[in-house]
Chain A
């Protein structure tokens, strides 16, 4: 059994969504059928743009700099 995300090149993975990458951990019994379904699915430009890009995080993870110029 394979996952769809295995087909994505490492260098391209940053463009894929969190949900998509989580599929790494979910194996599928019929990969060809899954690809066919995905290829025939209706695209939504808005969600594609929002969902597939790396995101700026909503806060500072640490605060080790005293002052930024």
Chain B
């Protein structure tokens, strides 16, 4: 908040949060899912009250005014004489009812785990989002049967990663999306071409040439995965942006924090998902924040970027994700 003149202050909107990096800062707009680059000097300026009347140098005064006006034009901030009427967002409150927020269930041609049983267990844990990943081809009938397992579930968003086959045409996918409102995103790998379709306002279909053969293809860090919304930002401040309240079943049926990790906490045929949640070691991964991770803690994108603990740069559990090639000290993607 910056005092402009007597009884007039410049404020950022509550949903626009500045984040300082090693060399530059960003202002995350948590309502519009965007961010704006600013210099660290502007970040520092926004974090302390300044009275324009006290700036003797007229050139500096002009600069500050120009910056504030620019931020106002961008819809990031505003002038007010009543700053006390605009409190900050309370990121401390916990408004997630889910015991498990999301889950990944992997399948390959040798998998024999019972999806319906897993979905019933996830419903008891109030899980609201699931990703199904199929590394090998499956028939359309089997796929439809898998989707029907969610009919009585608490899952409100479903994402599917499928291997390209004859029936995975755009027309079929459109029909499947129409019949399954929970299904928000379909990614079809091993495709010969790349194609992105948005059949309605809520759903996406992506055909990609990537050859996703197993869980080890996960963990990519790129601007594509940046998310600037309140839920994600809040999660990043207190817990791990990938693994928080996540349970996974790998293609062999083992329960893990992430299918790409080695440590398992039992087999789905013999262990209940809720029993894993009593294991403190299982929940340890949930609490690794970006602020705890080497290099990430200096990155301006740390609260809008996904994390990966399966692939890290060295043996230290708190080291930078291996598949991230951003250098926050030089602001370059290598």
Alpha-carbon gap, A56 to B250, bound state (A)? 24
B180:A63 contact, CB within 8 angstroms? no
Q: Which residues of B contact A58 (CB under 8 A)?
A: 227, 229, 231-232
B161 on the interface (CB 8 Å rule)?
Answer: yes
A22:B181 contact, CB within 8 angstroms? no
B161:A67 contact, CB within 8 angstroms? no
Chain A residue, CB-CB nearest to B130:
A61
Binary interface profile of B, 213-230, with partner A (CB < 8 Å = 1, else 0)? Answer: 001011111101101010
Contact of A18 among B126, B227, B235 (CB under 8 A): B126
A13:B157 contact, CB within 8 angstroms? no
Binary interface profile of A, 30-69, with partner B (CB < 8 Å = 1, else 0)? Answer: 0000000000000000000000011111111111111111
Beta-carbon contacts under 8 Å, B196-213 to A: 196, 202, 206, 208, 210, 212
B220:A10 contact, CB within 8 angstroms? no
Tell me the minimal C-beta distance from B176 to chain A in angstroms: 13
B184:A56 contact, CB within 8 angstroms? yes
Known contacts A18-B128, A54-B181; decide if A60 and B157 are in contact (CB<8 Å). no
A14 on the interface (CB 8 Å rule)?
Answer: yes
Count of chain B residues with a beta carbon within 8 Å of a chain A beta carbon = 54
Alpha-carbon gap, A56 to B157, bound state (A)? 6
Which has the most chain B C-beta neighbours within 10 Å: A24, A64, A65?
A64
Q: Which residues of B contact A27 (CB under 8 A)?
A: none
B306 on the interface (CB 8 Å rule)?
Answer: yes
Q: Which residues of B contact A13 (CB under 8 A)?
A: 151-152
Contact of A24 among B148, B152, B181 (CB under 8 A): B152
A-B pair count, CB < 8 Å, reads 114
Alpha-carbon gap, A7 to B231, bound state (A)? 33
B181:A15 contact, CB within 8 angstroms? yes
Chain A residue, CB-CB nearest to B148:
A10
B224:A67 contact, CB within 8 angstroms? yes
Top 5 nearest A-B pairs (CB, nearest first) are A57-B157, A61-B131, A58-B231, A14-B181, A57-B129
A-B pairs with beta carbons under 8 Å apart, 15 shown: A10-B148, A13-B151, A24-B123, A54-B184, A54-B202, A56-B157, A57-B129, A57-B157, A60-B306, A62-B161, A63-B242, A63-B306, A64-B210, A65-B224, A66-B220
A residues apposed to B, CB below 8 Å:
10-11, 13-15, 18-19, 21-22, 24-25, 53-69
B residues apposed to A, CB below 8 Å:
97, 102-104, 123-124, 126, 128-131, 133, 148, 151-154, 156-157, 159, 161, 180-182, 184, 187, 189, 194-196, 202, 206, 208, 210, 212, 215, 217-222, 224-225, 227, 229, 231-232, 235, 241-242, 246, 306, 308
